[in-house]
Chain A
Amino acid sequence: MRPYSLYAILLIIVMAACEKESRIDIPYDGDKVVLNSLIQPDSLMYIRVTKSKPVKESGNLRFPELAGAVVTLQEDGTTLPAPRWTVINGKGYYVSQGVAKVGARYTVNVSYTGLASVVAVDSTPARPAIQNAFAQKTSNRVRFSLKDNAAEKNYYRIRVYNADTVNGVIVPLKQDTVKFRLDPSYNNNFIDIIGNAYYSEVLLTDERINGKDVLFVLQTSKEITASHMIVEVSGLTRGAFKYLDGTYSQRLEDRLDFSIDPVNIFSNVENGYGIVAGVNAGRLSFSVE
């Protein structure tokens, strides 16, 4: 996981700093198409197309949607039926007419009048093999096993949800994300220890667990009180991993989003911004003992 900056941490820890709004005039590169889609196998593909904006903003942080864009979708080189414009939870998406497959290669093209056309390509990864989830009420520990496939270079995202039963089905309480931390021996992340921080997701590669069947022990920030829980481990493509890793603080923290690092967030969208990448979430629901 990418800490916003070690420097910033040291600064916060060691120095009593003073802050003010800078007078530097921030330049703008001009409007570009922003294409975002995380493709999950066995699910429809939701393609979000928006337009970029200047960095400095006051009054409206939402990005303009490009409702009239021409979006084409290809699966392993074959053009699929055109995605349809659909508004979900107040936001517009181009939604595919069929579900995505595992191991397929998807190409998304977007054209919009007055802006440069963009294209992005990625494939979908395999679903991680997880089992034996366990947690105990009034404790702070969640356990599960993950078997890594030695034949591939794998990237993972781990999330934990409190859950409840609705009509006998365990459903995640997604607004109630469980914050946790992982023994740093799995992801070699000492920065977790410095901040003693808990996260709503942890990203890791198989560098240290390659080919092994590993018991993960997560420590939750709060005492476990839910009757059920869900452990979600997503397999990620390299692009998805780099993108999610680079955007952690912007996606999941309400606080500052540092942009001082002169390294751009990973993007595979040619002539535009954003990401098209494959993810494959495996979920394990279980009752808390």
Chain B
Amino acid sequence: MSLLCRMLMLLGMLLIYIPVQASGWDWRTRISVSVKDQSLETICMILEKEYGIHFSYSRNVVNLTPLVTVNIHNKPLKKALDDIFAPFDIHFARIGDQIVLTAKNHPTNTISGYVQDYGTGEKLIGATIYSPVQHVGTTTNQFGFFSFTVPRDTSSLQVTYVGYKPGRLAVKKGQREPVIVTLQAQNSLPEVVVTTTDSARQQQEQVVLNRLKLSAADVKAMPRLLGEADLMRTIVAQPGVSGGIEGGGGLNVRGGSPDQNLVLLDGTPIFSVSHLFGIFSVFNPDIVKNAEFYKGAFPARYGGRLSSIVDISLKDGDMQQYHGEAAIGLIAAKAMVEGPLKKDKTSFVVSARRSHADMMNDVFIDNNDDGPDNTTVFFYDANLKVNHIFSEKDRLYLSGYVGQDKLNMTWQEGAKGTDDPESYYGDSRSSFVWGNYTGTLRWNHVFSPKLFANVTTNYSQYYFSTEYKYDYKPINTTDTSKLYGKYYSSIQDIVGKVDFEYRPKPQHTIRFGGGVITHVFNPGVSLFEDEGIGQPSVDTTYDNGASVGQEILLYGEDEWKVSKALLANAGVHASAFLVDGRAYYSIQPRLGVRYGFPHRWALKLSYTHMTQYLHLLSNSGSSLPTDLWVPSTGRVRPMFSRQASVGISKTSKHHMYAMSVEGYYKTMDHVIEYSEYVSPFSGAGKHWDEQVAIGKGRSYGGEIMLEKKKGTTRGWIGYTLSWSDRTFPTVNEGKSFPYKYDRRHDLEVVLTQRLGKRWELSATWEYTTGLPLTLPTASYEGVGDPSPYDPPQHDPILDHIGNRNAYRTSSMHRLDISATYSKKKKLWTKSWTFSLYNAYNQRNPYYYYMVTNTEKQERYLSEISILPILPSVTYAIKF
């Protein structure tokens, strides 16, 4: 055999031999090892002996003397070594056929878990976990979960939350399971101020940009309208936000319309947020745990609306004991109960609220002679939430909401015994019902100390329905009639979504996820029947133009603490909308930056794109239950906005006072409005998009907030200077005009004062310049008949309407005050709340119309105001 042949054979044998040697083990090789109080070195020797795994290390670098107890059974090698070495900061790597052990340069430890109330087990959202040594920290997410990677030698962490005694979290080496940190509530009295360190507080403020966080206590501290505390009214008191009509309810954020707000209740979108035509919001404050409000710098995880995000979290329910609250006021009575179904495992919270119909009718209904014989107006809502802990890593939340407003009217005609008895009996009944149904199922899973996931599936429906029945029965003939009619509209959302939160280092909180939303639109269906005439009605159903749109979304964002001074939240929200064979796509960059300067000054910048695939058809100057949700179409494209904002903020040394100034500029494309009058019950019809004008919106302005955050006297002054306009090619001769919610100046003063241990006073005063108003600019004679020999009832006087919104209503201002007396009994706490809405009875303009007085031969503009001074009293107990 030649030398060459021998060499080739040797090479071949080597090539065969090396893989055979190398394939003796790999990372997936399953191993079992069980020792008690043995050194790490012993474990290495066992593995070498049993599995042929060679370890290479230097005793000067790696310390293998610690004694451990290990019980590993049939685990993949890599996972097993990770379990064995990670607690000792020993790094392992495969080089050739051996495993080389080295010491980690900067050993770290990731602590994860939940922060919760000591007594109730309620998860605390936004609690701060802070390392005083490293001066770094993090906060809990919406589920009370945190993940914090700290140096290995960290022995304890500080945990704080407003209204709770600070706690310390002892850090155990090698702790990999989620920990539960419990904090004890302070005496719930506001004068007891939490002694949070300045650094920890700064951390809390820094973490989230442009977010307003409201607790139930914040909401309840505000003066009440007719005895009802209201979340939305608290948000409306912020700069940059205004209510739609007097009384609140509507939410107009930075020149946006009410349909441009994404309101989430435990992650489920709510389409109609008010009861009683906008006077109260649908959220019962007794079970609201936390609400977050964004008007700019929208994080990438939110999408689908242009102007604001209101993310409301409900209480989870007490895991230890039963508690409850009940209250009765002038308008509504309500009750709430929470408690464990199984201690430390399953809890529930259930609440219900209902207005007292009879009393409301006496107070509000204008029972004039022309009106119905009987009218009832009432609303109710109910919430149920169940929370179950499967394990330290898995939790399930199931919640449901139902809320309705009802208006019933009946007329009786031809009643016996009247002075002018009719020749027939007529019975007419009309009912109007509108509201929301929602259901939510959420599953939290902790994949690892650094990775948290939440899977949400939910259903939300808003509907409006009206029915009438008319029975006609003549006395002298058999010509009876039984009319029945129904009209309804609805929108439904079915959502499936998964969200991940990954915290690899304290400097990064990475969130990513995706979802699918099925929107089902039903913009108006009517149905008529007449059982009396013996022939079918002209049509049975009308305008059943239901359609389905699919929204698909993906997002990713990183909350990145670039340096001690610089914090950024950068992300992208991508979405697609499929409807009627068309597809729309949108990639929306989101950026928020905060730079801290010495002496607690900070600069904030943000730039965001938002896309909204849904439109709201509104046939009135204000939001009404009859408004119709419709999808984007070939003619009406999705709404799109760009918003940039810049601001500075400053807090005083002990965080007693805070000040912020912010300016913004926002553009909105493809906004719509009806181009001519449309009846509120006619439905959208199949060609609604031909009846609307499509245009652009623009808003810009500045906001100032001065806040006192501590002490027995607290409150804020918010001022907004803003402009908002719309431009439609076919409206107002194509010229821009002020948007209907454009307010030049808006000043809000909110004050709460603690008096002793039992009294708390609060007051809000609001001043706004007038809203835009379109006025007639000429009057002229009308005509009703072809021939002058057909005498009209009177000469009609018609008005020519001038430029859109060229004038302003008079300015508006109002003071609301409230006083609450609380007294703690042995087992329960009682409280009385006395409120005055519109305390000095200011007659603010609400509505304008022309009055024609033919007797005096005069015409003038009349101003209507509603809601005069309204006193109220509420009695509540809490146990």
Contact = CB atoms under 8 A, between A and B. Distances in A.
B680 A16 contact: no
B778 A32 contact: yes
Contacts of B782: 36, 247, 250-251, 274
B365 A13 contact: yes
B680 A17 contact: no
A40 B777 CA distance: 31
Contact of B786 (A21, A185, A208, A279): A279
A185 B528 contact: yes
Contacts of B277: 10, 14
A17 to B, nearest CB: 5
Contacts of A215: 533, 535
A17 B775 CA distance: 21
Contact of B791 (A175, A258, A261, A263): A175
Interface in B743-784: 773-784
Contact of B800 (A36, A39, A252, A264): A264
A61 B850 CA distance: 13
B868 interface: yes
Contact of B776 (A26, A62, A88, A281): A26
Interface size class of B (residues with CB under 8 A): 35 or more
Nearest to B792: A251
A185 B485 contact: yes
A61 B854 CA distance: 8
B181 interface: no
Given A29-B802, A60-B857, A63-B780, A22 B845 contact: yes
B868 to A, nearest CB: 7
B810 A24 contact: yes
B858 A58 contact: yes
B854 to A, nearest CB: 7
B364, B530, B782, B847, most chain A CB atoms within 10 A: B782
Contacts of A80: none
Interface in A208-259: 208-209, 212, 214-215, 217, 219, 223, 244, 246-247, 250-252, 254, 256-259
Contacts of B622: 7
Contacts of A27: 775, 777, 802, 807
A189 interface: yes
Nearest to B625: A10
A2 interface: yes
B37 interface: no
B562 interface: no
Given A55-B799, A185-B537, A251-B782, A196 B793 contact: no
A149 interface: no
Given A2-B677, A22-B862, A188-B681, A244 B538 contact: no
B794 to A, nearest CB: 7
Contact of A260 (B411, B779, B848): B848
A4 B694 CA distance: 25
B84 to A, nearest CB: 72
A41 to B, nearest CB: 9
A211 B848 CA distance: 42
Contact of A53 (B472, B779, B793, B795): B779
B443 interface: no
B131 interface: no
Nearest to A1: B679
B711 to A, nearest CB: 40
Contacts of A252: 784, 793
Interface stretch (A69-77, A108-116, A138-146): A138-146
B861 A15 contact: no
A258 B860 CA distance: 12
A46 interface: yes
B399 interface: no
Given A7-B622, A139-B477, A196-B411, A257 B852 contact: yes
Contacts of A256: 849-852
Interface string B455-488: 0000000000010101010101101010101010
Q: In the complex, which of the residues A88, A140, A185 has the most CB atoms of chain B within 10 Å of its own CB atom? A: A185
Interface string B232-243: 000000000000
B526 interface: yes
Contact of A54 (B366, B430, B479, B778): B778
Interface in B316-349: none
B767 to A, nearest CB: 18
From B368, B477, B677, B795, residue with most partner A Cβ within 10 Å: B677
Interface string A1-45: 011011110111111111111111011111010101111100110
Contacts of A10: 277, 624
Nearest to A137: B476
A89 B852 CA distance: 23
Given A139-B479, A190-B487, A264-B801, A26 B533 contact: no
Interface in B834-878: 843, 845-852, 854, 856-868
B486 to A, nearest CB: 9
Interface of A: 2-3, 5-8, 10-24, 26-30, 32, 34, 36-40, 43-44, 46, 48, 50, 52-63, 88-89, 91, 93, 136, 138-141, 174-175, 177, 183-186, 188-191, 193-194, 196, 200, 208-209, 212, 214-215, 217, 219, 223, 244, 246-247, 250-252, 254, 256-265, 273-275, 279, 281
Given A24-B807, A34-B781, 6 more contacts: A11-B847, A14-B276, A18-B864, A24-B775, A40-B787, A265-B800
- What 5 pairs across the A-B complex have the smallest Cβ distances? A185-B528, A40-B786, A190-B681, A262-B774, A36-B783
